[in-house]
């Protein structure tokens, strides 16, 4: 459209023709829309869904700037500006929540990113197909366990009376310890059980990238006398680098969105000082406390949402700068 308009003004000689073309393309567009009515019919239901459950909540987030009352609702409650945000920034929870969220996110990324890559590189070296299949099948399986069952499993394994940890400490004559009652262990328990559950599944994408590497490269390297380790370093790792970089940056943009269901389920009264993150706090204030403070909770949620949005945008920009395929 913009291009057409400029050609009309700059080159009057062909303005008539382009104007008719313009009118023609408009009626052509309308004709196209009429012809494709069935596609719009198909789209109607998904669009209704996405507007209702994604866009109306975005509009509804305005209650972060209001004092939500049941009588006033989203549109009629009184405006209070940034009062809820100021209250949050000044509350004693603020620093703690930010620290907990960021440190857990970074810990998870720092450990959770390289391990699936190492697993994939290592699996790719295995020649015994049955062994490779066995490891794959076993390590993928925990991915399908639900969060509730996973946390139940963790609690049973760490049970101070009969869990694996207790048996180990008894066998080694070490003092008994209840790991779940030690806040300093909370993040490690969260992160390493997450690795246990998802490393196999996260390795899939790298394995797929490794099998796409041209076998001729390996053959040539073998002829040249390259050792296995050298082939990993100079062929396999560069081969998965593009996908790894992209995933790292996207994960980085996304790291504020930690799997909060597991954080919530692993919480107990002893560890909340380290286990309370932005998402769990929003849930507690907004939906699980005796005085439901919708506006305050929405403000905290919006604060997080804006940060997450900015981080994804920046991460995507970085991916683009590096010449990788980006999200958009």
Partner 1 sequence: MTSLGLSKRATVVDNTIRASAGDRVFMVINYVLLTIILLIVLYPLVYTLSASLSDPSAVITGKVVLFPVDFSLRSYEKIFNYPSIINGMLNSLFYTVVGSSVSIVLTFLAAYPLTRKDLPGRRFFTILFFFPLLFSGGLIPFYLVTRDLGLVNTRWALIIPTALSVWNLIITISYLRSSIPEELWEAAQIDGCSDIGYLMKIILPLSKSLVAVLFLVYAVAQWNQYFFSLIFQTNPDLAPLQIVLRNILILNKIDLGMIADVQRLADQQALQEQLKFSSIVVASIPVLMLYPFVQRYFVQGLTIGAIKG
Residues 128-157 contacting partner 1, CB under 8 A? 131, 134-135, 137-142, 144-149, 151-153, 155-157
Residues 325, 242: Cα–Cα separation, whole Å: 9
How far is residue 209's CA from residue 56's CA, in Å, rounded to a whole number?
39
Chain positions 76 to 115 lying near partner 1, rule: CB under 8 A, are none
Nearer to partner 1, 16 or 39 (CB): 39
- If you ran DSSP here, which 8-state letter would residue 176 be given? P
For the segment 251-290, give every residue that binds partner 1 (CB under 8 A): 261, 264-265, 279, 282-283, 286-287
Site for partner 1 (CB under 8 A): which residue of 5, 219, 233, 314?
219
User: Which residues, listed in sequence order, are joined to residue 79 by a DSSP beta bridge?
Assistant: 66
Shortest Å distance, C-beta 223 to partner 1 = 7
Closest CB to partner 1 among residues 12, 290: 290
Cβ closest to partner 1, residue 45 vs residue 71: 45
| 280 three-state secondary structure | helix
Q: In terms of CB distance, is 16 or 59 closer to partner 1?
A: 59
Only segment of 8-16, 82-90, 105-113, 225-233 that touches partner 1 (CB under 8 A) = 225-233
Q: Is 50 in the site for partner 1 (CB under 8 A)?
A: yes
Quote the least distance from Cβ 286 to partner 1, whole Å: 4
Angle subtended at Cα 133 by Cα 242 and Cα 115, rounded to the nearest 5 degrees: 40
How far apart CA 13 and CA 132 sit, in angstroms, is: 71
53 makes contact with partner 1 (CB under 8 A):
yes
Contact with partner 1 (CB under 8 A): which of 4, 19, 47, 314?
47
For residues 211 and 128, is the Cβ–Cβ distance under 8 A? Answer: no
| 33 makes contact with partner 1 (CB under 8 A) | yes
Phi and psi (nearest 5°) for 78?
-75, 140
Residue 85's nearest CA partner among 303, 308, 311 is 303
Contact 140, 201 (CB under 8 A): yes
Exactly one of 29, 110, 174, 241 binds partner 1 (CB under 8 A); that residue is 29
CB 182 → partner 1: shortest distance, Å?
Answer: 18
Q: How far is the CB of 12 from partner 1 (least distance, A)?
A: 30
CB 194 within 8 A of CB 259: yes
Residue with smaller CB distance to partner 1, 60 or 183: 60
Under a CB-based contact definition with an 8 Å cutoff, are residues 200 and 140 in contact? yes
By C-beta, is 15 or 205 nearer to partner 1? 205
For partner 1, which stretch binds (CB under 8 A), given 14-22, 94-102, 202-210, 269-277?
A: 202-210
> Distance between CA atoms of 30 and 3, rounded to whole angstroms?
20
Q: Give the C-alpha separation, 275 to 266, whole Å.
A: 8
């Amino acid at each position: 459209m913009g291009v057409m308009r400029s050609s009309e003004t700059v080159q009057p000689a062909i303005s008539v023709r382009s104007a008719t073309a313009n009118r023609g393309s408009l009626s052509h567009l309308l004709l196209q829309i009429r012809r494709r009515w069935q596609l719009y019919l198909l789209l109607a239901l998904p669009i209704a869904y996405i507007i209702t459950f994604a866009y109306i909540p975005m509009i509804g987030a305005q209650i972060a700037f209001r004092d939500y009352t049941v009588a006033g609702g989203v549109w009629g409650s009184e405006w209070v500006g940034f009062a809820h945000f100021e209250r949050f920034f000044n509350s004693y929870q603020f620093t703690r929540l930010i620290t907990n969220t960021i440190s857990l996110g970074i810990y998870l990324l720092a450990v959770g990113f390289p391990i699936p890559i190492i697993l994939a590189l290592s699996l790719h070296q295995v020649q015994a197909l049955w062994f490779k299949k066995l490891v794959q099948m076993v390590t993928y399986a925990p991915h399908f366990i639900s969060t509730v069952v996973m946390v139940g499993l963790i609690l049973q394994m760490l049970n101070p009376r009969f869990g694996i940890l207790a048996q180990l400490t008894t066998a080694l004559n070490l003092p008994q310890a209840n790991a779940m009652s030690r806040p300093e262990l909370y993040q490690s328990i969260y992160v390493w059980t997450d690795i246990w559950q998802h490393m196999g599944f996260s390795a899939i994408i790298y394995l797929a990238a490794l099998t796409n590497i041209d076998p001729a490269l390996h053959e040539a390297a073998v002829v040249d006398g390259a050792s296995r380790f050298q082939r990993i370093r100079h062929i396999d790792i560069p081969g998965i680098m593009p996908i790894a970089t992209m995933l790292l940056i996207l994960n980085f943009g996304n790291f504020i969105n930690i799997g909060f269901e597991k954080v919530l389920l692993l919480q107990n009264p002893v560890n909340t000082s380290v286990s309370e993150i932005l998402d769990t706090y929003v849930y507690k204030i907004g939906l699980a406390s005796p005085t439901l403070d919708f506006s305050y909770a929405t403000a905290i949620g919006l604060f997080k949402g804006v940060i997450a949005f900015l981080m994804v945008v920046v991460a995507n920009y970085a991916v683009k700068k590096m010449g990788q395929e980006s999200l958009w």
